[in-house]
Structure 1
Amino acid sequence: LGKPWADVSATSYRQHKEALLDVALQSLADLRSRYDVVVCEGAGSPTEINLRATDIANMGLARAAQLPVLVVGDIDRGGVFASLFGTLALLDAQDQALVTGFVINKFRGDDALLTPGLKMLAQLTGRPTLGVLPWIPGLQLDAEDSLDLAAPAEPLPPLGRDVLRVSVVRFPRMSNWTDLDAVSSEPGVLVRFATTPEELADADLVVLPGTRATVDDLQWLRRRGLESALQERAAAQRPVLGICGGYQMLGRAIDDAVESGAGQVDGLGLLPVRTVFFPDKTLGRPQGSYGGHPVTTAYAIHHGVVQVEGGAPVFAPGEGCRVGSVAGTAWHGALESDDVRRAYLSEVAQAAGRSWLPGTTSFEAIRQRRLDALGDLVADHLDTAAVLGMLEHGPTSDLPFVPPGAP
């Protein structure tokens, strides 16, 4: 686990279904042996009837492990009753037998207005709705993937006179986007995603985040006209930070025969480093320090190995590279270390001439508050007794079949 296995397309993936399902079932068995409750979240829709034969992320796993299933509908998108009914009605009889109930998420309004629809759904399907979870604005949970990134949250009021503006280049295949969550939790820091040179122009800090396709996203960056904007920033000593794939782009060259197969590619030339891609990923939980402040939250996961040819390290005892206002690191998560984040942002503020002051609340405490709010939401609005019954006894027996079923 945790290592590349094969390069497959959406079509060729199908021939690997049996082997991949076996790995998923082994992992599930391991988790069940160590934890009281294991929740298997699906990916996409359970009723992608064109893909059901090779599905292992939704009903394929549920049927193989005989798991009870709750179908969750997002009412904020509209059409939730049609979605819930249609999802069930397009499953075959064996899959339907596992679907024990429904949950409606992100409801705004009076529950009384929803009650007639819930009763009708129960009559049509023979399955209850176990909860209606209300919408909570500004919850800011970690996004599941980059497609789920919402508009940037409104910044907390600044403690100083000014706001820091951080522009994050939104690569098409951006990854590890949660690296910036801790930055946006600081008072008076506005984090926004950028795809044009104009969106970088007034930023106090520009971040090149991680990416699942470094060379391809570097080419995209050039097509968008961002290369010259970044070079102008560096020449003017305005801060730029590259993280993992973004760090690799900032270097002199990338030699990639693994991820893109492009071979030797010129980097942006803003840092004296070169990157060589290897088949096996580097994985780790490194520790270090920044200006004497300990880094305790970092992790590494990358194919590219960076060879540093000059500059100064970003983190002691020798990780990353920094030249003037441009810095790069292979470490994800380092900015979740509170003192490190505040020290770096204070340097950014000084370079930008901003009267900005860091906060005092730890990011871990902020994240725990968000999770507690979600936990309270579930406890107050979900029939947890019914869910516990599903966990103890499995799928409800003798559930009715809802036609027409899968073709």
Structure 2
Amino acid sequence: MSGGLLVAGTTSDAGKSVVTAGICRWLVRRGVKVAPFKAQNMSLNSFVTREGAEIGRAQAMQAQAARVEPSALMNPVLLKPGSDKSSQVVLLGRPVGEMSARGFFGVPQGPSGGPARYQGRQEALLGTVTDCLAQLRGTYDAVICEGAGSPAEINLRRTDIVNMGIARAARFPVVVVGDIDRGGVFASFFGTTALLSAEDQALVAGYIVNKFRGDASLLEPGLDMLHGLTGRRTYGVLPFTHGLGIDEEDGLHVSMRGAVRESAVAPPYGEDVLRVAVCAVPLMSNFTDVDALAAEPGVVVRFVDRAEELVDADLVIVPGTRGTVRALEWLRRRGLADALARRAAEGRPVLGICGGFQLLGEHIEDEIESRAGAVDALGLLPVRVRFAAEKTLARPVGEALGERVEGYEIHHGVAEVLGGQTFLDGCRTGSVWGTHWHGSLESDGFRRAFLREVARAAGRRFVPAPDTSFGMLRENQLDRLGDLIEEHADTEGLLALIESGAPAGLPFIAPGAP
């Protein structure tokens, strides 16, 4: 059986994904056969594996860091929010239905005043996720698990399968990551540990400080005091690092901005820059599609939500969304639908991807996602869309603009293309383009050809750099994550944890929760 580690965090966005990916890259460079794992993920940024399974993009990125093929085993449960109160549940790469938060996490059951029992779908999945983890442990030398949110969500602990629940089941040691850039990191470390039960505390080996700015020696007295208070050591102080370029689970970040060089936007290869505006539609999914554009020298990418912000854009992208009809209403309410129509009439470039492609069509029939029935779309492409109960999950390969293109598809909408020029699985009419293919812009030759078309239509003297390789830039960024761990973490201490398993003999802090 292989060794392993759980990377937990004091909060969401503390840096768990970065640290997990960095540890995977550091280990594989040492010759360790390693795999990432996240029992349960909540994200609208997902990916399709070669076997046709849908998993979180962060786990696909971590698999790339580990130099292994991503698999559904690495993210057995994926929750894709469709509203504030419900999500689509994707189990082992396949959707199994919509579920409310109460139905998934469970609510207290039993007599008033008596011990609470929680009944929900999540608790029933513990066996599934531990089976997946066991399969990975049987194949790899080490498995690096990423937690979710905070392990000290005491209202959810009884049904937890992604933080201390999986750590206790696997007897994995836990390191807790804290974002010092937000402030309060010592209180966060202490409070997170103190809220755990004695049994969970026994698995917490120590801490990693993330996003530190300044002289690390000034932090040492605090780390010593933290050790005195908790009996736990700090396994690294990672400096604040710009432009790491990894796939985000949530939040509007252009991950590859700054990947070409340290400045926010690299200088253009030609005479002009190219301005790209991405409509920040509700329930936006896979906005990582624009990362490859942001990696191009001279391309400026920004997210927008006002019609006036489209005026100076050379290209407008309508991205994917988990709420196509809701996004359609949002575009109309904010005046963006009219602005897109004006652009199309003026011959100015617009690209719709997945849900964005569906929005640009003529008609949508949706009894699945929104149950809105027949809805008129924006009418900019000769396409009619019908939502099917079965989700399309695919890894297509094709050709466009004379270049080879690879992508991936994740959608319930089935498009009937009624005219226009063929464009991947969609179509093009004048300066308006649409396709279901996510990730197509990561194909270097196609991206350059597409940007030349956009520049010509926009009247810009923009020239794509001939040697930008998105794949190489991504590899360089993953190496930077590995360097971050190798240079600033206690790698020998981490290796000992991974190899030896759960820590023993650490003192307890009086727990604040059962």
TM-score (norm: length of structure 2): 0.76
Question: How far is 1:32 from its partner?
Answer: 1.9
**Residue 44 (structure 1) aligned to one of 149, 153, 171:** 149
Alignment of 1:243-282 (within 5 A): 243-282=353-392
- Within 2, Cα distance between the matches of 1:405 and 1:129? 22
Question: Is this contact kept in 2: 1:3–1:280, CA < 8 A?
Answer: no
- What are the residue-to-residue correspondences of 1:387-402 with 2, within 5 Å? 387-402=494-509
How is 1:101-250 mapped onto 2 (pairs within 5 angstroms)? 101-146=206-251, 154-250=264-360
Deviation of the 1:376 alpha carbon: 0.7
- Residue 21 of structure 1 corresponds to 126
Three-state SS of the structure 2 residue aligned to 1:64 is: helix
Question: Residues of 2 paired with 1:171 and 1:235: CA distance?
Answer: 22
Is 1:100 equivalent to 2:100 in the alignment? no
Q: Which moved more, 1:24-33 or 1:270-279?
A: 24-33
Percent same amino acid at aligned positions? 60
**Amino acid in the other structure paired with 1:361:** T
The answer to whether the aligner puts 1:327 opposite 2:433 as a matched pair is yes
Tell me the alpha carbon deviations over residues 233-264 of structure 1, each in whole angstroms, 9 at most, x when there is no partner: 01111000000010011111111111122222
Partner of 1:302: 411
Residue 505 of structure 2 aligns with an amino acid whose one-letter code is D
Paired position in structure 1 for 2:89: none
Please name the residue that 1:68 is paired with. Answer: 173
Please report the TM-score for the alignment, with normalisation by the length of structure 1: 0.96
Q: How far, CA to CA, are the matches of 2:130 and 2:500 in structure 1?
A: 20
Deviation at 1:18? 2.6
Question: In structure 2, what is the Cα distance between the partners aligned to 1:375 and 1:150?
Answer: 17
1:74 CA displacement: 0.5
Change (3 A) 1:380 1:152: closer
Q: 1:148 to 1:158 in 2, by over 3 A?
A: closer
Asked if the contact 2:246–2:255 (Cα under 8 Å) also holds between the matched residues in 1, the reply is no
Q: Secondary structure at the match of 2:125?
A: helix
Partner Cα distance (1:337, 1:238) in 2: 23
* Distance change >3 Å, CA 301–CA 150, structure 1 → 2: closer
Following superposition, the deviation at residue 226 of structure 1 comes to 0.8
CA contact (8 A) 1:93 1:405 kept: no
- Tell me what 1:58 maps to: 163
CA change 1:156–1:148 in 2 (3 A) is closer
Q: CA deviation at 1:10?
A: 1.3
Point out the more displaced range, 17-26 or 86-95: 17-26
Shift in Å at residue 152 of structure 1? 6.3
Deviations 1:281-319 (A, max 9, x none): 1111110011221113x111111111111111113xxx2
**Structure 2 gap segments, 5+ residues each:** 1-91, 107-119, 259-263
Q: Is the 8 A contact 1:258 1:278 kept in 2?
A: yes
1:352-379 CA distance string (max 9 Å, x none): 1101111112111111111111111110
**What SS does the aligned partner of 1:165 have?**
strand
**Partner Cα separation in structure 2 for residue 149 and residue 9 of structure 1:** 30
Give the partner amino acid of 2:386: V
Equivalent position to 2:493, from 383, 386, 389: 386
Aligned length: 403
Which residue number in structure 1 is paired with residue 450 of structure 2? 344
User: 3-state DSSP class of the match of 2:446?
Assistant: helix
C-alpha distance in 2, partners of 1:336/1:295?
8
Distance apart, 1:149 and its partner CA: 6.0
**Higher mean C-alpha deviation, range 8-17 or range 70-79:** 8-17
Counterpart code for 1:338: D
Superposed CA RMSD? 1.5
**Distance change in 2, residues 1:171/1:73 (3 Å):** same
Q: What letter is aligned with 2:509?
A: V
User: 1:310-362, CA deviations, whole angstroms, 9 ceiling, x for partnerless residues?
Assistant: 111113xxx21111110100001010000100000111001111011111121
Match of 1:11 in 2: 102
Contact 1:146-1:177 within 8 A present in 2 as well: no
Amino acid at match of 1:305: V
